[in-house]
Amino acid sequence: MASMVHLTRHGEVENPKHLVYADLPGFGLSTLGNLQAKEAGRFLSSRPVVAVWSSPLQRAIETAHFIAARHQLPVHVDERLTEWHLSSRWSGIRWEELPQRLPGELEAYLTHPWDLDFTPESLEELADRVAEVATELSARYSNGDVVMVGHQDPIHAARLRLTGADHRRQQEGKPGHAAVVSLRPDTPWREMSVWEPESASTSSSA
Instruction: For 64-108, give the DSSP string.
Output: HHHHHHTTT-PEEE-GGGS--THHHHHTT-BGGGHHHHSTTHHHH
Q: Give the CATH fold of the 4-16+29-83+123-195 domain.
A: Rossmann fold (3.40.50)
Whether residue 203 is predicted with pLDDT greater than 90 in this model: the reply is no
Contact 130, 158 (CB under 8 A): yes
Instruction: State residue 200's pLDDT score.
Output: 63
Taking the model in full, what pTM does it have?
0.96
Among 68, 60, 29, 10, CA closest to 197? 10
Instruction: State residue 206's pLDDT score.
Output: 62
Instruction: Name which residue leads in pLDDT, 5 or 205.
Output: 5
Backbone angles phi and psi of 199, in degrees to 5: -90, 20
199 pLDDT tier (thresholds 50, 70, 90): confident
101-156 tens-digit pLDDT: 999 999 999 999 999 999 999 999 999 999 999 999 999 999 899 999 999 999 99
CA distance 154 to 134: 12
